[in-house]
Every structure is written in structure tokens, then in C-alpha cells.
Chain A
Amino acid sequence: MSLAREKAGPIYRTVREVRGPLLVVEGVKGVRYNELVEVKLADGTEIIGTVLDVYEDRAVVQVFGQTEGLSLDTAVRFTGDVMRIPLSEDLVGRIFSGSFRPLDGLPEPIGYERREIFVSVINPAAREPPSEFMQTGISVIDGMNALVRGQKLPIFSEAGLPHNVMAAQIARQSTVLGSEEEFAVVFCAMGIKHEEYEYFRREFERTGALDRAVMILNLADDPIIERIIAPRIALTIAEYLAFDLDMHVLAILTDMTGYCEALRSISIAREEVPARKGYPGYMYSDLASIYERAGKIKGKKGSITMMPILTMPGGDITHPIPDLTGYITEGQLILSRELHGKGIYPPVNPLPSLSRLMKDGVGPGRTREDHMEVANQLYMAYAEGVRARDLARIIGELSLSDRERRYLRFAEEFERRFINQGIYENRPIERTLEIAWELLAMLPEDELVRISEENIRKYHPKYRSA
């Protein structure tokens, strides 16, 4: 198997206990914490695992792979090394399973070096703060929640919303203004359905992105425990492409909810004290060890931009999965069932959405001087409009003040013209800002308090046409 170093160790047949994905092996010698373990089931199936706890001659092994068929007859070999994968540029264009088996019919990859997949921490002092605006061609993102290279920006979605369509559109259209550089997509599927995967594959194929992509797949019917290693394999490859081969990598991780469920089932098998909703107390740190692998490094050309997708259980943003994710990632894009119901695509609700790094990527010399101010004004005006809409539901539109009615109209137009766009529509940032100004012109000039007077003079349609 490609994850193990070619080195023989003794085979133990001393499994004393099987508990979910955990095996307790006794009489072992010199076992290292977190080392890679090869496990052979009675029927000959080979799977892998790692050491979770070692106490003198007793080791607890967590297996990745099918947990049916584990028995006291299981044979276990400790490899003496942590889990590693071989790395080379040949990985680009390949498709692997969650435990790094080739799924494309091609041979096992050979690399220049084997790098461990679990532990990788960029020194904070060596990080380059992300500051290059990445144009996605989607107005509600570019205009109000701009993405920058090296950022981690998740999509918080719900079952049945078009997050995959959106992620594919972003992968297709993402460009950095004024640059032609090496680009790759690392795609990691955790528990998504076959048809969702097929959609991504078709989209990537159609646009030629497949040749620039590495896919790590753990689909809905694959072993759930493999989801623990799948994103780490994906990100180890991403790091290699970005920081060894100078490529700009977009890593799409979908669905993080599938990942967290795997984490929970291991925690429960280990009988740990849960924090919230049965999820383990270390989930924040565990998620951080994944999300924090995005970024840029001083003196290196490449970057990893990360777009994790998660479906909020029951649409609840306070659920531990979106909650802990939001504390680690640099913002979030939140999809709204209400907008989707109105036929608005992409149904991104700008009010709770946020890109923390936008301020560093936009403005004079990057996009345009009025960009940030326009974004803030759009937020404020749309929030007013939504409030007026709520009020109209109670007291009727006729009872609204003129001001409230104006904001209500603004909100409707904003959704219809600014947020809404085609799946294949790629709007340059200039066009996005132009639409924004056309909408802001619906409001009295006095109320554009978030925009400086100079910028109003320069960009307000009233002064431009004059």
C-alpha cells in the first residue's frame, strides 16, 4: 500500500477488543504514538489505521476503512512510521480514494519524497498576509465579500441549495486581476453523493480543469472513517503544489459536515466526554489543523486558497460544525433558502456573510478606491430594506414611511439585479461596481454616509452623466 514505507515489522495477532473503528492490541513492542498500522481482516481485506493511545505493551488502533469484519482474528502490523504520501507533479490530473488508492485505473504514484500528512503547521512569522484580490465573477462575492488568495472562506449551506454549482462556478472563473499563473484545483469529497461528484467531474472536464485537478474521493457509501485522512491527504498534496511547485491552489473540501460526523463517531467509540451535541471538545483544534493549512508563505510564489463547504444541520448556524468553522475561517458565505425560493442564484445572503480579508485585497491599486465603501453602503442599505420588508409584513406596505418604502424597493432591486446572475455569467469587478452604483443611486445622496464625499462625486451616476 502506498501509504506505508516498504519496511517489514512483526505481525501481531493479539487483538483483544474491537469497539467500532478501534482495536485494542496487546503484547506489542516499541509502538509509536500516531504511527501507521496495516490491518488485515480475516477475509483478506487490507485496511490501514493509526495508533491513538499506547500504554506499555497495549496499543489502541483506529482503523480507516470498513469497520465491518473486524474481529479478534485481525492481523496487525506496525510500520514504525507516521502516515506519509509520495509527492510529485504527476499527481495533478489523478483521482484517489480517501485512503489514497488510485481510482482512475492508473498505477500507484511514485514520488520524489514521502511527506507526513497529519502534522503541518506554518510558522505564523513566516506567513504572508493574503492581499491579492481573486475575482470570482460573482457580484455578491466580489462586490461585498471579496476573496483573496490564501484565504479560507467556507460556504455554509443547507441540503438542497446549489452550493456545488456555486463552488464549481468559482473554480471555473477564479482569476487574479492581471496575472497568468499556474493554477490547480485540489478537490476533496467527504461523504457526498455520487451524482454530486459526477457534477464536479463533468464541470471540471468541460472546462479543461480536470487536467489541473487532483481529486480525493470519499463518497457517501465509502467507509466513513476514511474521511479523517482524506482532507489531510488532499492538503498535503496542495501544500506540495503550492509551496514546492509555486502553483496557486484552490482547495475545495466538501462536505465538512461529513468529516465532523466521522470525528464524532471515533470520539464516541473512545468514550470521550463530549462538548456540544456529542461532538468532541477538541473539534475546534482538529478543524483548525485542516483549515489553517490554507495561506501564503513569505518568499514563496504559490498559495492555497480554501473553500470548505458544509451543510448546516437543520439550517442552524449555531450548530457546532458551522460555529467552530466560523471561528477559524476568515469569514463565511451563507446561502439562504429564502433567496433560493425566490429563484435568486447564487442565493448568498450578504447580511450574515463576511470576508474578513476583503479589506486587504480591495481598494486603490487592487480593485478600485470606492470598493470597500460601496460594499459597506450596500450592506447598510440592504439591511434597512430587509427591515422595511419585515415591517411591511406586519403593518402593510402602505403604512410604511417614504424612506422605508424606498429601502424596500432598493432591497428588491438589489436581489434581482446584483445578487442574481447566471451560472455561466462571469462579471468583471468593474461591472459589479457599476451595478452597485446604479442601485445606490435609488437612495438620497445624503444617506450614503458610508461613502466619502470624494468618491460620491467621482462615481455616483448623477455626477458621471453630468
Chain B
Amino acid sequence: MSQQVGVIKRINGSLVVAEGLRGARTGDAVYIGELKLIGEVVRISGDLVALQCYEDTSGLRPGEPVIGTGAPLMAELGPGLIGEIFDGLERSEIELWKLTGPFIRRGVRLAPLRRDRRWRFEPRAKPGDEVEEGDVIGVVQESSVVEHRILVPVGLQGVIESIEEGSFTVDDTVAVLVTPDGGRVPLKLIQYWPVRVPRPYRERVPIDRPLITGQRVIDTFFPVAKGGTAAIPGGFGSGKTITLQQIAKWSDADIVIYVGCGERGNEMADILTHFPELEDPRTGKKLIERAIFIANVSNLPVAAREASVYMGVTIAEYFRDQGYDVAVIIDSTSRWAEALRDISGRLEEIPAEEGYPAYLGERIAELYERAGRVVTLGRDKRIGSVTIMGAVSPPGGDFSEPVTSTTMRFVGALWALDTELAYRRHFPAINWLRSFTRYVEVLEEFWVKLDPQWKTYRERALAILEEASRLEEIARVIGEKALPNDQRLILLTAEIIREGFLVQNAYHKVDTYCPPERQVKLLKVMIGFHDLASELVKLGVPVDRIRSLRSVMELLRLKEKEGLEEMDAAYERVREDLERLRMEYEAAGVMRGT
């Protein structure tokens, strides 16, 4: 790496202009001033270089030096990522705390991966093996659930000359590779990758399996596929963060990366405190053993938010390349977009809508395009995926603003949060009329295995909900009582679906996570009820009689039951009650002689 040296000319917030950084390229990392604050080259004009500084620039003055590293901002990749909490520049916040106390200090240089920790390395290749980029040369059991696969770095191939089993730090050489031109390259547990460049793969493959989140409204109605993208826009107080946290906790990805980008400090503290206690319902292991956090909270420097998102996605791609399904959750992409706006404004670029730069759409598209399900590099043709789910925080809850409207164009699923639902304490407050998914067809196969009628249930439930919202509009004017009976039944069924299916209590020990089998069963019971009840309504049974049946109201609490048999039993009770009601009415009809 060639070092370049320049001198500060101007400081304006996070923008620093330097002179004399010859040979600098945009995207190069730099150290600014005597404090060596971390920054990046964003624009070059003649002898002047504009830098975006990732730390607070107070106290800098013209004349201080700037050192160019000649290399772009890199992520360190290797054992030690799992369970960590990093800032946007991949500095461990736990280590920073030990080092500088509870308040963040500037200019602290800290290696992302701990250098003092030793890892047990087990070779999977032997001397004489021919290997190419992406091949697994060995593994490190990083946590009880994550086997960290050590890959031949991108761009390398050759023959393994030596490889050693044993206990190593990330900097130690574990193997030596002889390249075709005869060079000898030491392979280590650590490798580097520029965060703004997508990591390469062999090819994309069709996405065909769901990312199960255990959240009924998502999995059943608006599913996202592994390797897909989803956005979750919502005004404040619509329960965005809780919904994202639920996804982070329960989704069936191998690795979960949570990027807290410009959000609340107490929320991050809450996640960091509670995650280590939570257990994965599938493995029984602690969720922290598969999670990585990037906590670039709202009062950290704005510019670092920009980097934090790419840092998260780069780490995700690295685990994807090992053959894992990775879920990336970004809360919130709006704060990231604001960072783009901030630096664009300081560069005096001509703004497009609401002060955002004209390239906002391009950046959002590029970000979501880093999701996907791929065949990775390496000869064993592993399959891995990155799913990106981004929160959007529209100002005033207005979905037509630039970040929300642009994001909606590039994602495969949209979970539109609704403040009105949140006011009614309907959580997750995902509005079933405004949300969409493009993954139903590709995921059908998965669900049909659980119940061949799945698609029908889903479509009918959505139709009932849609019809109900139309009827509610009318009822708001003329009163529910004035509606005919068959329409009142639709309102009743919709209420059962809403309260008994869509509403999910994140704090209830059973309800917090609903496995797919239970989701299908629950929906089947509700649609079954509707069919039986429709028969009765045709006979002239008033809906109020149906509503007053205890077994019907029990459907609302069915979601709190763990066993599938309990659901069958509940359905049986509804069927019996309705049957009795039918006989009663048929008898009355016979009496009347009809």
C-alpha cells in the first residue's frame, strides 16, 4: 500500500477538503488530522480532494495532515464476528467501552477481529490438493451453531503446500498455497474485502424457499423468500422496531445480521441485553450464537451510517459464500439515505426531491441487489443466500416521499405498517390491504406440502379481509346492525382472522413464534368456521347467535395453544355447536312448515 500525504484546507461538518493527496481514488480510506479520524475520498477535482469523515470533526484545523491509505474501506472477515457488536466502521463497541469508558471517544483505532483470541482450526484440505477461489480449506467452530468455513480468498488458486491443524489467531498462517506462477501465499483465518464492492459468486439460482419468521401475517400472507428483499415502511409508533426484532429473533436463517443504522441507543441496548437470553425454537441454542450487530446509533456521526449498511451486507455476503442463509435487517434505510443527503448537500450537488441527491434511487437499487440466492465460488458448489429486509421511516408517515416510494420499486415484499392499526394495538401493525409480496408463486410448493389447500385458504382469507374493510366503510355510515346477515358474517369472520390470526403478541410465550404447521392449521380452522357458518346464515340463523357461541369466541385464543390436536378439538367444538344451532333452526323451519 502506497501512502499519500495531504494537508487539510477546509472543514465543514463531516466534509473535509484536502490538498495534495496525489493518486487518491474515490472510495479510498484516509486518516484525517492529528487525531487520525477515519474518512473516505468522495470527490476529486484537480489538486483538491473532498473527504467524508466518519467521526466528529470538532477541533480539526486547516494545515493538519491527511494520510491516504491507498486502499478502499475494508471489512475484516474471519472468526470472531459472531456475537459481536460493531460500530459502522467495524470497531467492537464492547472493546471501545473497555478502552475508553462509557462515552464514545474519537480517533480510536481498533482492529475489528480480536488478535489475542485463538481458534481451533481443522483442515478440510491436505497438502498437494489443488484448490481455487472459494474452496473450503478448513473450518473453525466459532459458536455452538456456526461452523466458520475458511475459504480460499477471491482471486487465488493453486496447490496446497502445507496445512496445519491446531490453535491459531486470525493473523497466523494456517496453510501455504503455491500459485500457478510459483508464488507462495500464506493463508490465514482472516481476509479483507472492500465494503462497497459486492462479493463475487458463480451464479444466481432461483429462489424457492421461504424465510420463515414465525410471524403469521408475514409467513402466510406476505412471505419473503430466502435470497429475497423486503421493506417495512411505517411512521413512528407503528411498531416497526418490534416487528424487526421479532424477525431477527425467529427467522430461520443461519446467520442474522442486525444493522441499527441511526436508530435509538436504548433500543440497541435492549436487543443487546435480551438477545443472549433468547433461545432458537429449532435448535434450542442461544440466538446470540448466530447473530452479529452493527449499532451505529442516531447520535453517532452521520457519515458512518452510510458505511454501516455496506459493512453489514459485506459480512452477510461473506457468510453466504460459506454456504449459509443470511438475513440482514437494516433499521432504518431512511437514516442511511439521510446520510447520503447530508454529504451530498455539503458537496453542493444539485438536489433532486426533498434535498436528496439524484442518485438516491440508484443507491437503493444497488443495496437491495446485493440480496440473492447463489451458487458460491468453490468447487463444491455450495448454495447460500442473503435476504435483505430494510425498515423505512417515512416523514409524517407519507409513503409518497422519495425514500419510501423508491424502495417500493426495488423490493420483492412490502410490509406496510399502519399507524391506525397500531393505535388499536393491533400488532404487528402490517396493513393487509397495502402490503404486497411477489414470492407467493415460488413459495407455494413449500406450503402445499403442509396442506394442499394452502393457497385456497390464503386467498379466501385475504378476500374476506378485503370485503370486510369495504363493508366496514358502509357500516360506518349506516351502522353494522343495518347490514344483511351474510355480510355481518363476513365482518365476524374477518374479526376472527384479525384478532385470532393477524394479531400476534410478541410477549406471549407461545404466540411470539408460530411455526408454519400451526399457521396453516389455524387458517384452515377459521376458513372452516366460515363455511359452516355460511350454511347456517342461509338458513336464517342470525349472526348474533353464532357470535354468542363460546366455542366461536374461543377461536380468538386458539393461537395461544401449542398443540395441533388442540386446534382440531377446538374446530370440533365449533362444528358441534353450529350443528346444534342448525338442527334447532331446521326444526323451527319444519314447525313453520317451510
Contact = CB atoms under 8 A, between A and B. Distances in A.
Given A276-B354, A401-B481, A123 B96 contact: yes
A359 B58 contact: no
B243 to A, nearest CB: 13
Chain A contact-residue range equals 35 or more
B477 interface: yes
A102 interface: no
Contacts, number: 215
Interface stretch (A28-36, A87-95, A135-143, A175-183): A28-36
A274 B269 contact: no
A282 B302 contact: yes
B266 interface: yes
Q: Which of B11, B85, B398 has the most CB of A within 10 A?
A: B11
A391 interface: yes
A401 B492 CA distance: 14
B201 to A, nearest CB: 33
Contacts of B573: none
B59 A281 contact: no
B59 A323 contact: no
B302 A292 contact: no
Chain B contact-residue range equals 35 or more
Contacts of B589: none
Interface stretch (B127-135, B175-183, B313-321, B338-346): B338-346
A54 B10 contact: yes
Nearest to A57: B62
A185 B423 CA distance: 32
Contacts of B477: 394-395
B351 interface: yes
A299 B10 CA distance: 41
Interface stretch (B150-158, B217-225, B293-301, B382-390): B293-301
A149 to B, nearest CB: 11
Contact of A450 (B268, B295, B342, B425): B425
Contacts of A383: 423-425
A323 B395 contact: yes
Interface string B245-267: 00000000000000010101111
Interface in B371-421: 393, 395-398, 419
Interface stretch (A124-132, A248-256, A409-417): A124-132
Contact of B342 (A282, A332, A380): A282
B481 A33 contact: no
Interface in A275-324: 275-276, 281-282, 284-285, 288-289, 292-293, 295, 297-300, 317-320, 323-324
A32 B64 CA distance: 10
B102 A30 contact: no
Contacts of B338: 281-282, 284-285
B270 A300 contact: no
Interface in A369-408: 372, 376, 379-380, 383, 390-391, 394-395, 399-401, 404
A332 B237 CA distance: 9
B309 to A, nearest CB: 16
B273 A124 contact: no
A295 B268 CA distance: 12
B85 A125 contact: yes
30 contacts: A32-B61, A33-B59, A53-B11, A53-B12, A54-B11, A116-B58, A120-B103, A123-B96, A125-B94, A281-B338, A282-B302, A282-B342, A284-B335, A289-B299, A292-B298, A300-B102, A317-B396, A318-B396, A327-B236, A328-B264, A330-B267, A351-B423, A357-B266, A359-B507, A383-B425, A390-B476, A395-B479, A399-B482, A400-B479, A449-B557
